[in-house]
Chain A
């Protein structure tokens, strides 16, 4: 029988901080999931980024990661940027389409979200809603498109500015890799092209 050594007070504090960080990141304490950097700082102290990093290492084998969503896209982040950023726990690897469908998502709805985000990303993050509806209307019934857009606006994937303009929502920025999506969509085969039997992921990696 192997007896584990009693953890030192430092280890106990570190474990407690990890548990606190995990709880803060997992539980939705506001309307939106995740927490702001300054909230983590308040609970975990000024070295909260080290706690987040440590948590990230522990989550990695579980297929999870801590995602930091900054308010600005500028390079060279300072302390203030980290404080104002929002921290989430997301999956570290994408799920397969069959897993997503098994989780209750419809292929049509996913296609609407995929096309909407790809279109918005290609237009610099915003575009008139009418243009998007018209584009998606070529694939699906208009009522279905509008209902899906409404649903995704409520969920935070899209943001309706109220004057007929849609922008990319906070959830899409947190969950979707813009570069990968654009590559996957542009890598889709044209109708009539011979099928290569490759997934969009393969196509995107080839185009890199």
Chain B
């Protein structure tokens, strides 16, 4: 009984060896096929167990595959395409990254194709959406509480808009009043007029006024100073360029 087990193990080992060779793509001539076949013959002659015969057939099949690999190996080596992998490895190690990229560029003809959403993809997306877990009870409850806010949101939005419009009008009047003799207002001084806390809010509203055409923002490239030029009436903006201003701490950065 133990001899059957030993024979079985040996056959399994040979199968594993052949499979490893097949997977890694290493030199198939590393395996001595003749010795393996002799060993196979002796195992089968000694044991007539059904398991052994089945395993023997499997082993024979694996060895046949190795022979097929040897055939392919020889064919590749004989062809003009064959280049020793060691040589290629050496060249890769020695070459510069740019040279390697350039070598690839010289033989690369990429596929030209257009991508679009297909019916299959939509179907896949829909299936994914359906497979998503349902909302939990707690989440649903939380959502229920928030419904009131969602419903009243449009009203609040309208009210907020009214407030913003009022603020804009007020700021525009203030800007017109703050003009110097030349009709300009110092941007930074104007933003800080109501204290440091209001700088961001005033900057935000001022940006609206400038975008709408009620004022123009002018930067002196030599001094870096920014000036506002308010207009009585809305003007059509001649330039669509935007200017980014940065505030850090209590000062204007740029």
Residues on A facing B (Cβ under 8 Å): 26-30, 33-34, 64-65, 67, 88-97, 100, 107-108, 110-111, 113-115, 117-119, 121-128, 135-136, 138-140, 161, 163, 165, 171, 174-182, 184-191, 199-201, 204
A175 touches B100 (CB 8 A): no
> Which residues of the other chain, B, contact A187 by a CB distance below 8 angstroms?
103
Residues on B facing A (Cβ under 8 Å): 23-25, 72-73, 76, 81, 83-85, 87-89, 91-116, 118, 120
Return B208 CB to nearest CB of chain A, in Å: 37
Q: In chain B, what residue has the closest Cβ to A201?
A: B106
A-B contact pairs, 26 of them (CB 8 A): A26-B113, A28-B113, A89-B113, A91-B112, A93-B109, A94-B106, A95-B105, A117-B104, A123-B85, A124-B76, A126-B25, A135-B92, A136-B92, A139-B93, A139-B100, A175-B108, A180-B107, A181-B107, A182-B81, A184-B104, A185-B91, A189-B99, A190-B94, A191-B94, A191-B96, A199-B102
Bound form: Cα–Cα A139–B72 in Å: 32
Bound form: Cα–Cα A11–B8 in Å: 70
Count of A-B contacts with CB under 8 A?
177
Check A177/B107 contact, CB under 8 A, given A27-B113, A90-B112. yes
Given contacts A89-B113, A95-B108, 6 further A-B contacts (CB under 8 A): A88-B113, A90-B110, A111-B100, A113-B104, A184-B103, A191-B94
A185 touches B73 (CB 8 A): no
Q: In chain A, what residue has the closest Cβ to B92?
A: A115
Return B128 CB to nearest CB of chain A, in Å: 15
> Which residues of the other chain, A, contact B101 by a CB distance below 8 angstroms?
97, 100, 107-108, 110-111, 114
> Which residues of the other chain, A, contact B109 by a CB distance below 8 angstroms?
65, 67, 90-94, 175-177
**Chain A binding surface SS class:** mixed
Bound form: Cα–Cα A128–B106 in Å: 26
Return B138 CB to nearest CB of chain A, in Å: 38
Contact of A200 among B87, B94, B99, B113 (CB under 8 A): B99
**Chain B binding surface SS class:** helix
Q: In chain B, what residue has the closest Cβ to A123?
A: B85
> Which residues of the other chain, B, contact A125 by a CB distance below 8 angstroms?
25
B25 touches A114 (CB 8 A): no
Bound form: Cα–Cα A178–B103 in Å: 12
Return B78 CB to nearest CB of chain A, in Å: 13
B105 touches A100 (CB 8 A): yes
B113 touches A185 (CB 8 A): no
Bound form: Cα–Cα A140–B92 in Å: 12
A27 touches B88 (CB 8 A): no
Bound form: Cα–Cα A135–B221 in Å: 54
Check A110/B25 contact, CB under 8 A, given A124-B73, A180-B107, A188-B91. no
B113 touches A188 (CB 8 A): no
> Which residues of the other chain, B, contact A64 by a CB distance below 8 angstroms?
112
B98 touches A33 (CB 8 A): no
> Which residues of the other chain, A, contact B105 by a CB distance below 8 angstroms?
94-97, 100, 110
Return A16 CB to nearest CB of chain B, in Å: 20
Interface centre among B97, B100, B113 (most CB of A within 10 A): B100
> Which residues of the other chain, A, contact B84 by a CB distance below 8 angstroms?
122
Bound form: Cα–Cα A65–B102 in Å: 22
Check A124/B72 contact, CB under 8 A, given A111-B101, A165-B25, A200-B99. yes
A188 touches B23 (CB 8 A): no
Bound form: Cα–Cα A200–B105 in Å: 9
Bound form: Cα–Cα A91–B115 in Å: 17
A171 touches B25 (CB 8 A): no
> Which residues of the other chain, A, contact B83 by a CB distance below 8 angstroms?
122, 182, 186
Bound form: Cα–Cα A67–B111 in Å: 9
